[in-house]
Structure 1
Amino acid sequence: MTVRNTLALLTAAFMCSCSGNSGSKSTSSDTLSGKQDAAMAAIQCFAYQAQKDSAFLHLEINSGIVSGKLSYALFEKDRNDGTIAGTMSGDTIFARYTFSSEGSQSVREVAFLKSGTDWVEGFGDAKDSAGVMVFTDRSGLDFEKGLHFKPVECPAAP
């Protein structure tokens, strides 16, 4: 799926989630449906910290669709800031990370495995596919040495 298609899918999902019946009376079934929607959407933040390295992950998961922000500040490496957009597959997130580094924009596939309350980033061999670095074999990803993102309070919106 191209970045353009992913963004179009996320935009459509956002627009559908924003449409509502403002000004109308809610029934008990509407209230129940609203509670189910709220339970299905989860916004959470996670951080990785080790010596001089840090990373931050802001996730919004809604009915298996994942979006959010991801940034890395790794010692003696260029800072990366960007967005993720992807899907949940069981207990694993597969997403495209669109980020800026050194003044240029890049896209690469990322994977995170749920481990208790944490998310662990997976790494593996990747290849360039139409300008996007993608994993060559998702089943062979290594989550043992990945960054462990622990839950943190989300920063207040500006």
Structure 2
Amino acid sequence: MKNLVISCLLLSCIGLQSCKKNEEKKEAVQTDAEKIVSTQCYKAVYEKDTIDLKLNTLKNGKLSGNMVMKVATATERTGEITGEFRGDTLFADYTFVEVTNKTKTFKNPMAFLKRDNQLILGNGTMQTTMGVTYLVKDKPIDFDRVKYKFSTLECK
């Protein structure tokens, strides 16, 4: 009986150790895919509004970065943006806080059309279902009648 218990404990330890090694490999692969390949900065100005955008292209092809929105009629917003290109359109989620109320986090979907060296923030129909806001797939996104056209600039 003692031999059976010792054998079971030994097998359990070996099994747990191999699981640990697999987790370490997964973490190494994930961090390798999340390495920044390039960084591009953009700025959009419309009347008294200014939006600063910094996008990092990751090794896995996805994008991450941060964006600061200073819109004249609203509170300043600062947050992170994540997404990926589908063709020439960047579909992203902007997770932000308002400077006056940092306790509440908001998340909005966004779509940017890449045209030449510009990113154009599109206007699309949004819908919220079960607390998640997304762009409606059946409705086209307007990239022609827009306020914000981002021009590239050198990152600081």
Could you tell me the TM-score, scaled by structure 1's length? 0.70
Structure 1 residues 5-54: Cα deviation after superposition (integer angstroms, max 9, x where no partner): xxxxxx977612579xxxxxxxxxxxxxxxxxx8xx22100001122110
1:76 deviates by 1.7
1:75 deviates by 0.8
- 1:80 matched to 2:77: yes
1:52 touches 1:74 (CA, 8 Å); kept in 2?
yes
Larger Rg: 2
1:135 deviates by 0.6
1:129 deviates by 3.0
**Alignment coverage as a number of residue pairs:** 125
Rounded to whole Å, the distance in 2 between the matches of 1:117 and 1:44 is: 11
Aligned to 1:75, the other structure's residue is in SS state coil
Structure-1 residue corresponding to 2:127: 127
Structure-2 residue corresponding to 1:96: 93
1:152 deviates by 1.1
Structure-2 residue corresponding to 1:49: 45
**Unpaired runs of at least 5, structure 2:** 1-26
Structure-1 residue corresponding to 2:155: 154
**Unpaired runs of at least 5, structure 1:** 1-10, 20-37
Aligned-pair RMSD on alpha carbons? 2.4
Aligned to 2:32, the other structure's residue is in SS state helix
- Structure 1 residues 84 and 14: alpha-carbon distance in aligned structure 2, compared to 1, 3 A threshold: farther
Structure-1 residue corresponding to 2:9: none
1:109 touches 1:132 (CA, 8 Å); kept in 2?
no
- Structure 1 residues 18 and 142: alpha-carbon distance in aligned structure 2, compared to 1, 3 A threshold: closer
- Structure 1 residues 137 and 64: alpha-carbon distance in aligned structure 2, compared to 1, 3 A threshold: same
Identity %: 27
Amino acid at match of 1:75: A
Could you tell me the TM-score, scaled by structure 2's length? 0.71
Rounded to whole Å, the distance in 2 between the matches of 1:118 and 1:92 is: 12
